[in-house]
Structure 1
Amino acid sequence: MSDLTEASVEYSHDGTRLVGHLVARADGAKRPGVLLIHDAFGVSDPMKATARRIATLGYTVLLADMWGDGRIPKGEEEIGPLIGAMANDRATWTGRVDAAHRQLLAQEQVTEGPVVAVGYCFGGSSALEYVRVGGTVAGAVSFHGGLDLVGTDWSAANKDASVLILTGAEDPMSPPQVVFELEKAMTTAGVRWEVTSYGHTKHAFTNPQADKSGNPDVMAYDVRADRRSWESFRLFLEELA
C-alpha cells in the first residue's frame, strides 16, 4: 500500500540474529506500537500482510522473528522441533519476544505509549507467555493460540496487562479444561482477561489456507469467526493503544 513503508529490521537475542519486519505509515508520524508475533511459519508473506492490515488501523507494527535469521519453515518436520525448543527453553522463548518489544520501542515511528502484543497460533501462545512472565506490554491478544503451551504459574504476571483470547471451541490445541485452568490462573494473578470461544470452530480459523492442510479434524477456516475475532481485536486496540 502506497501510504505504508516497510523495512527489514535486524536485532538479536543471546547471540542469535533476528530479522523482523517493520510496517509504518509513510508520513513518518509517531503512532502506537503493535508487536505482531508470527505463527509457526515464521516471518512469512501472509504474516507481513497481517502487519499491513494492522498498520492501516493507525499503528506502527513490528513483526517479530522468533525462529532466527528470518527462517520460514517448510513443513511439520521443521515446525515441531522449533516449537518444542521454545517450550523447553522458556527463557529463550520469552527473551526473543522481549528483544522484539524493545526493538519496536526503539523505532522513531512509535509513540512512548502502551504496546499491545498480538499473535497467531504459536504467536498467540508467545504473547500470553510473555505476559505470564511479566512482559511489560499493555495487552496481549491470542488468535487461536496453542493454549496448551502456555505455562500454568502466573504469579509473576504483568498485572497491568489486559488479555484477549480468541479461540475455537473445537481446537484440540486449546481444549476446554486447558482454557478453564488458564482463566483460573489469570484470575488468581489479578490479570484482566476476556475469552471468546467460537462454537463449531477449530484451530487456525483465521487462515483461508487451513482447509488445504489435509487435517480437517484439527484446523479449518471459519469466515464468521475470522470476521468477528478481527472486530474484537480492533476494539481491544482502540481501548488500550
Structure 2
Amino acid sequence: MCHSTDSRPPAPPVRGPVAAHEQTVLTSADGNRFLAYRAEPAEPNGRAVVILPDVRGLHPFYRDLAVRFAEAGFHALAIDYFGRTAGLGDRGDDFEYQRHLKQVTNDQVRLDARAATEALAGRGPVFTVGFCFGGAQSWRQAMEGNGLAGGVGFYGALRVIGEPESGPGAPLLLLRGGADRVSTPHDFDAFTAALDRVGTEHETVVYDGAPHSFFDRSYAEWEDACQDAWRRILSFTERHAQPR
C-alpha cells in the first residue's frame, strides 16, 4: 500500500505564488459531505486538477500537493474518500483508513470526483491526477468521460476498476514504476489493450526499477523520475487542454 515518509511532495521545476489555500467541504449528488483541500494559483495557467489520493484519503501529503499544483498555475482540489463512513475528521498518519476503504465503491468515487470537477467549473479544462487506488480511479473517471479533459495516474491499482467497456472517453497518462507489483506488466498489457479496443487515447511511461509509491515514499531516491513525471503532467495537461 502507499505510505509516505516524506511530508512534502516533489517541487515543480518552477514555483509560482499561490493566491489562497484552505480545507473545505464539498457535497456530492447523493448528499455525501466530504473533505477537500482547495488551492488557488496567483498566476493561473488555464487548467484545473482534481487530486485523487492513495488509500489514506486526504492525507497531509495531498493537501500539500494541491498547493504545489497551484504554484504551477493550476486551480487544484484534493479530495477525501471517507465522508460516508468517517465523517469530516483528520486523515493524519494515525487514521485507520483500511476499514473505511473497504466500504468505498467506484460509483461513490465517481460522485465525489464529479462534485470536485463541478466545483472547478469556469477555471479551465479539468484533469484528474491520482495515486495507487486514486491512480486507477483517475483513469476510470477519465475513460468514462465525466466532464474531464484527461486523467493522469501513478502506479494505479487496476484490480479496483476493471477494464473499460466503452469509449473513447478522455485521454490517459499512465505513470508506472518498473518494480511495482501492485499492478503487474501483464495487468497493464490487458488494460491498455482494452483501451485500444474502445478507442481511448493513452500514453505510458515506465520508470525502470522504481517501486510503488516512488513519487512520495521514495522521492529522495527517485528524484529524477519524480521530476520527469511532473514535467510529463505539465506537458500532458497543456496538450489536452487545447480544443480537440
Q: Could you say which TM-score interval applies, normalised by the shorter chain?
A: 0.7 to 0.9
Deviation at 1:230, TM superposition (A): 1.2
TM-aligned CA distance change 1:231 to 1:70, over 3 Å:
farther
- Kept in 2: contact 1:170–1:203 (CA 8 A): yes
Map 1:157-236; keep pairs closer than 5 Å: 157=167, 159-207=168-216, 209-210=217-218, 222-236=222-236
Deviation at 1:137, TM superposition (A): 0.5
Moved beyond 4 Å, runs of 4+: none
Instruction: Confirm or deny that 1:147 pairs with 2:158.
Output: yes
TM-aligned CA distance change 1:170 to 1:2, over 3 Å:
closer
- Residue 96 (structure 2) aligned to one of 57, 64, 78: 78
Secondary structure at the counterpart of residue 98 of structure 2 = helix
Letter in 1 for 2:72: L
TM-aligned CA distance change 1:79 to 1:236, over 3 Å:
same
Secondary structure at the counterpart of residue 78 of structure 1 = coil
- Kept in 2: contact 1:116–1:138 (CA 8 A): yes
- Kept in 1: contact 2:40–2:75 (CA 8 A): yes
Secondary structure at the counterpart of residue 96 of structure 2 = helix
TM-aligned CA distance change 1:182 to 1:37, over 3 Å:
same
Deviation at 1:198, TM superposition (A): 1.3
TM-aligned CA distance change 1:53 to 1:73, over 3 Å:
closer
- Counterpart for residue 217 of structure 1: none
TM-aligned CA distance change 1:129 to 1:194, over 3 Å:
same
Letter in 2 for 1:235: S
Higher helix share: 1
- Counterpart for residue 23 of structure 1: 39
When the two structures are aligned, how many residues end up with a matched partner? 221
User: Could you report, residue by residue, the CA deviation over 1:52-93 in whole angstroms, capped at 9, with x for unpaired residues?
Assistant: 111122111111222222541646x9333333322xx32212
User: Could you report, residue by residue, the CA deviation over 1:2-34 in whole angstroms, capped at 9, with x for unpaired residues?
Assistant: 64301223222223211211111247x794221
The worse-fitting range, judged by mean Cα deviation, of 53-62 and 129-138 is 129-138
The structure with higher relative contact order (CA 8 Å, sep 6+) is: 2
The 1-side partners of 2:92 and 2:187 are apart by 27
- Kept in 2: contact 1:128–1:142 (CA 8 A): yes
- Kept in 2: contact 1:114–1:137 (CA 8 A): yes
Secondary structure at the counterpart of residue 120 of structure 2 = helix
The 2-side partners of 1:183 and 1:145 are apart by 13
Secondary structure at the counterpart of residue 42 of structure 1 = coil
Structure 2 gaps, min length 5: 1-15
**CA RMSD of the aligned region, Å?**
2.4
- Counterpart for residue 70 of structure 2: 55
Structure 1 gaps, min length 5: 212-219
User: Could you report, residue by residue, the CA deviation over 1:102-123 in whole angstroms, capped at 9, with x for unpaired residues?
Assistant: 2222xxxx43x32111112222
Identity of aligned residues (%): 25
- Kept in 2: contact 1:168–1:198 (CA 8 A): yes
Deviation at 1:193, TM superposition (A): 0.1
- Residue 117 (structure 2) aligned to one of 86, 101, 124: 101
Deviation at 1:221, TM superposition (A): 5.0
The 2-side partners of 1:161 and 1:134 are apart by 6
Deviation at 1:225, TM superposition (A): 1.8
